[in-house]
Amino acid sequence: MSTTPDAPTSPTIEQQCSASALSNITPIPIPLAVIDANGNIIDANLALGALCDRDVDELRAMNLQTLIWGQDFDRYRDWLGEALENSGPRHSQRMCLRLADNSQRLVQLHATSWQGDPLMTQLIVHVEDIHERAHAEATLQYQSDMNKLLMNLSSHYETVTLEEVDRWLVEALCTIGTFIGADRSYMFSVSPDETEISNTHEWCAPGIEPQQENLQDIPMEAFAWWMETLRRNETINIPRVVDLGEEATDERDELIEQGVRSLLVLPLIAGGRLVGFTGFDAVREERTWPEEAILLLRASNSLFTSALVRRLMDSLQESEERYRTVVEDVRSVIFRIDENGNWSFLNKAWEELSGYTIEESLGKRAVDFIHPDDHERITGAITEIVSGVNDVGRTEVRAVVHDEVRWVEILGRSLRDSDGNVVGYSGSIDDITERKLAEQAADEARKEAERSSQAKSEFLSRMSHELRTPLNAILGFSQLMEMSDLGAEEAENVSHISRAGEHLLDLINEVLDIVRIEAGQMSLSLEPVELGALIGESLDLIRPASGELNLRIQTSLGIHHELWVQADRRRLKQVLVNLCGNAVKYNCEGGDITITCSRLANGVIRIDVTDTGIGIPQDRIDDVFVPFERLGAERTPIEGTGVGLTVTKSLVEAMGGSISVASRQREGSCFTVELPAATNQTSHSLVELPPSNRTAPVNGKNLALVLYIEDNPSNATLVRRILAYRPQIGLLVATEGMEGVELARMQRPDLILLDLHLPDMDGAEVLRLLLAEPDTKGVPVVMISADATEGQAKRLMAMGANDYLTKPIDVTQFLTTVDHYLKNRSKGKRAS
């Protein structure tokens, strides 16, 4: 085959050059230079100037080596040497050119010997621009390497067993991380509830610090922008972490904190949901990853997703396994009942509880296991679950197991289909027989405690009665004697009896108070009490005694009349009378008593009772509230029992308050009571003092008839003597209950005085009969009893008694009461 002579063929560089003079390389459109044996550029053309971004004249003054990058100098020199030695064939070498702006460009230098000047060796150099081609080649190579790598990972993954998945994941992160030149690569998985992420696998280049431990259970909401981007299945490619925008400040701060400078993160999406992500960090320097790397990483992510899902499935299976083991291991019976009410699942615990095997029980009626008497109860519980009243039902029933009756607790819930129809039940059964027995024992103990408390209270009532009955006679008769004409000496003797009796009465009352508080029998009715009035009433009671010592009493009434405390009015009065009484008793002639009240910041009202009396020795002050301690007062003429302050303290504390004392011998004492302030200030504590009309005569011409039902002759005599001061009153006495009721019916008295303890029946029973009888039900009944307990009085008043007087009889009070009911008699209606 011959070529046509005029056929266009591309001329070789040599042809082009030989066809023109040296000076003629200039128009040739390929970059050319003519150099001498030392590399000095003798000539260069415009195309070379354009490639190097320099003037041709500038080039002509340079050595070719200065156009080469330093790292290629050795190669350049080798190339030049060879080109000079072997004239003829072309010598080519790939090299990096330094452009005027210091950037690089990949070129291929081709050299051909040139005989332009016969006197010197010259080379003509073709500087071929292979930059684009080399880049494309490199990319292709990169892709091919990456493909190979992925193929390897993928084929390896195919053979990986479940146990090996974790190891495979770390190896894959290492391989890819190394390949793309990352400093760290990792995988995160999203928690099943899609609220947290955790770093599950990590690879770090040598010298790079791992972060996995710090990156567990991180709330996804902390990195909202990051998560949103990944959820959209977008890659996060951040060449410069510091440039992250406003929307990602949290992410930026966290990454900077970890020392991450550039990063690449790819989502792992399964079933349309974000299940995790892979990431590649640059820590040592900022990095820009090529686009093809990102594309290929995205391809690799399908492997990571698959591995992650495999792991998740595995852990689900594992938890199912674990669940089964737990169900088998628990001591409670776990059950399922089908829609026909038959057992459809039972765990091992069933066999122990019931004594039946699981096999023989499955398919049998569940209710047969319940004691017949409790079928109704279990049906009720099931109805509540089915009707939706309760989501989970709990019931305690008896079960027949191992031929005995045991108590079981059943917790159950309904199982429903997608339409909400009940298709069965599931739940647990526990043997609670021991607990039930313990509860029964506790119940028994509580009842026993109640019984013993009841016994205590009966004892108190009895004691009170037994002690007061003889005192009644002592005090009553001595009062009567005081009222009669006595000689001076006799009068003094009687007054001794009286004082001793009163002292004994105080003592009994106080001791009984203490016993009552300790036995929990002291019932307090706490209500808002206004202090001004109460202090006024208390001071009225001590004023006569204070007058004897010429004491000045001051109260900060202007302030305290507005103060309200939460207290039992009667008991607080007892406290105040006690403290004020002591302030009088232990004062000195002409001394002072001051009562001040103030409101403290913490909702507490403070009452100070201060005196200028004898004071308490410093070393005895701790014993002030100890029962029967009189701290030396027993050696003085001042009367006392040493119990008043003990009662006072108990009462204050029972009302939720506290009491303290500050005292100096020979200077005086200050007792401080603190009580809670009342929040609701109603006026029902403003109780009027009882009238003190000591001598009110009965207003009427007719003889009034009083029936006294009392078995104790000395009590009857006492009342007879007292009523002798009311000549217009006739007295009838019945010594037994039934006799009293009979007398009342026949005689229609104007007033009945009724003792509580009668030989044939209880006073309360007599009261009931009197109230039931038409002839007697209109007659006022005043109970007279030695039983001073509050409960007793309340009970009888509630039954219909008109009044309740306690023995020992206070003559004045007795007469006032009798006068009151007889006065109302004249109005022809029953007094109240």
Q: How far is the CB of 636 from ligand ADP (least distance, A)?
A: 9
Contact status: 643 vs ligand ADP (CB under 6 A):
yes
DSSP code string of 128-185? EE-HHHHHHHHHHHHHHHHHHHHHHHHHHHHH--GGGHHHHHHHHHHHHHHHHT-SEE
Binding residues for ligand ADP, rule CB under 6 A, total: 20
517 lies in the binding site for ligand ADP (CB under 6 A): no
**Rounded Cα gap, residues 196 and 217, in angstroms:** 5
Q: Nearer Cβ to ligand ADP, position 616 or 754?
A: 616
Residue 660 beta carbon to ligand ADP: minimum distance, rounded to whole angstroms: 13
Contact 53, 139 (CB under 8 A): no
Can you tell me whether residue 21 is helix, strand or coil?
coil
Q: Which of residues 601-640 bind ligand ADP (CB under 6 A)?
A: 611, 613-616, 624, 630-631, 633, 640
Residue with tokens 């001073």: 788
| Minimal distance, residue 630 CB to ligand ADP, in Å | 3
The two counts, helices (H) then strands (E), for the chain are: 23, 28
SS3 (DSSP) at 478: helix
Read off φ and ψ for residue 625, nearest 5 degrees: -100, 10
- Smaller CB separation from ligand ADP, 158 or 589: 589
User: What minimum distance in Å lies between the beta carbon of 831 and ligand ADP?
Assistant: 39
Please state the closest distance from residue 608 (CB atom) to ligand ADP, in A: 12
Which CB, 546 or 641, lies closer to ligand ADP?
641
Using CB under 6 A as the binding rule, whether residue 645 contacts ligand ADP is answered as: yes
State the binding string over 97-126 for ligand ADP (x if CB under 6 A, else -).
------------------------------
> Distance between CA 317 and CA 306 in Å, rounded?
16
Q: Is 749 in the site for ligand ADP (CB under 6 A)?
A: no
User: What whole-number distance in Å separates Cα of residue 227 and Cα of residue 330?
Assistant: 40
* Contacting range for ligand ADP; rule: CB under 6 A; set: 50-58, 187-195, 439-447, 641-649: 641-649
Long-range contacts (CB closer than 8 Å, 24 or more residues apart) made by 459-464: 460/512, 460/515, 460/516, 460/519, 460/521, 460/789, 461/787, 461/789, 461/792, 463/512, 464/508, 464/512, 464/786, 464/787, 464/788, 464/789
CA distance 450 to 448: 5
Least spacing, CB of residue 614 vs ligand ADP, in Å = 5
- In terms of CB distance, is 143 or 594 closer to ligand ADP? 594
Distance of CA 223 to the CA centre of its chain: 30
**Radius of gyration of the chain measured on its C-alpha atoms:** 56
Cα 821 to the chain's mean position, in Å? 61
Measured from the CB atom, is 91 or 573 closer to ligand ADP? 573
List the interface residues with ligand ADP, window 144-173 (CB under 6 A): none
Taking the complex as a whole, how short is the minimal distance between the CB of residue 759 and ligand ADP, in angstroms? Answer: 38
Provide, rounded to whole angstroms, the least separation between the CB of residue 590 and ligand ADP.
Answer: 16
Structure tokens at 725: 């001061």
Question: For residues 314 and 635, what is the distance between their CA atoms, to the nearest angstrom?
Answer: 92
Whether omega before 528 lies within 30 degrees of 0, making that bond cis, reads no
C-beta of 588: minimal distance to ligand ADP in Å? 10
Q: Which residue is nearest to ligand ADP (CB)?
A: 640
CB of 632 to ligand ADP, least distance (A): 6
Distance CA 53, CA 63 (A): 16
Choose, by CB under 6 A, the member of 354, 641, 715, 806 that binds ligand ADP. 641
Residue 408 or 583 having the CB closest to ligand ADP:
583
Which residue do the tokens 């109460």 mark? 534
H or E element at residue 448: helix 433-483
Q: Toward ligand ADP, which CB reaches closer, 626 or 738?
A: 626
- Of the candidate spans 11-19, 140-148, 598-606, 644-652, the one that interacts with ligand ADP by CB under 6 A turns out to be 644-652
Q: Residue 644 or residue 737: which is nearer to ligand ADP going by CB?
A: 644
Residue 701 Cβ vs ligand ADP, minimum distance, rounded to whole Å: 49
Half-sphere exposure of 794 (CA within 13 A, CB side): 4
Nearer to ligand ADP, 146 or 551 (CB): 551
Backbone torsions φ then ψ of 351, nearest 5 degrees: -60, -40
To ligand ADP, the closest distance from the beta carbon of 518 in angstroms equals: 16
Binding residue (CB under 6 A) for ligand ADP from 39, 49, 424, 644: 644
**Closest separation between CB of residue 573 and ligand ADP, Å?**
16
Pair 545, 584: CB distance under 8 Å: yes
Bridge partner list, 398: 407
Q: Which of 519/631 has CB closer to ligand ADP?
A: 631
Using rule CB under 6 A, residue 651 touches ligand ADP: no
Taken in order 140, 146, 149, 153, the sign of the CA dihedral is negative
Considering the complex, what minimum distance in angstroms separates the CB of residue 550 from ligand ADP? 17
| C-beta closer to ligand ADP: residue 309 or 661 | 661
Q: Which is nearer to ligand ADP, 236 or 624 (CB)?
A: 624
> Kindly report the CA angle at 191 between 186 and 192, in degrees rounded to 5?
140
Nearest-approach distance from CB 651 to ligand ADP, in angstroms: 12
Cβ closer to ligand ADP: 551 or 822?
551
Per CB under 6 A, which of residues 575..594 are in contact with ligand ADP? 582-583, 586
The nearer residue to ligand ADP, 328 or 634, going by C-beta atoms, is 634
Adjacency order of strands within the sheet including 104-114: 41-44, 32-36, 122-129, 104-114, 91-98
The answer to whether 166 and 311 have CB atoms below 8 angstroms apart is: yes
Q: Which is nearer to ligand ADP, 616 or 706 (CB)?
A: 616
Of 457 and 596, CB closest to ligand ADP:
596
Q: Which amino acid is at 644?
A: G
Rule CB under 6 A: say whether 519 interacts with ligand ADP: no
Look up residue 763 and give its two tokens.
Answer: 């006073």
3-state secondary structure of 246: helix
Query: In the complex, what is the shortest distance from the CB of residue 641 to ligand ADP, in angstroms, rounded to a whole number?
Result: 4
Cβ neighbours for 297, distance < 8 A, ≥ 6 positions apart: 176, 180, 264, 266, 278, 280
Query: Based on CB atoms, which residue is closest to ligand ADP, 238 or 643?
Result: 643
Pick between residue 265 and residue 645 the one whose CB is nearest to ligand ADP: 645
Provide the minimum distance between the beta carbon of 500 and ligand ADP in the complex, in angstroms, as a whole number. 15
Residue 431, class by beta-carbon neighbours within 10 Å (0-12 exposed, 13-18 middle, 19+ buried)?
A: buried
Binding string, residues 405-434; x marks residues near ligand ADP by CB under 6 A? ------------------------------
Q: How far is CA 213 from CA 200, 312, 518, in A?
A: 9, 20, 62
Burial (CB count <10 Å: 0-12, 13-18, 19+), residue 776: buried
Q: Could you say whether residue 669 binds ligand ADP (CB under 6 A)?
A: yes
CB of 517 to ligand ADP, least distance (A): 15
Binding site for ligand ADP (CB under 6 A): 582-583, 586, 611, 613-616, 624, 630-631, 633, 640-646, 669
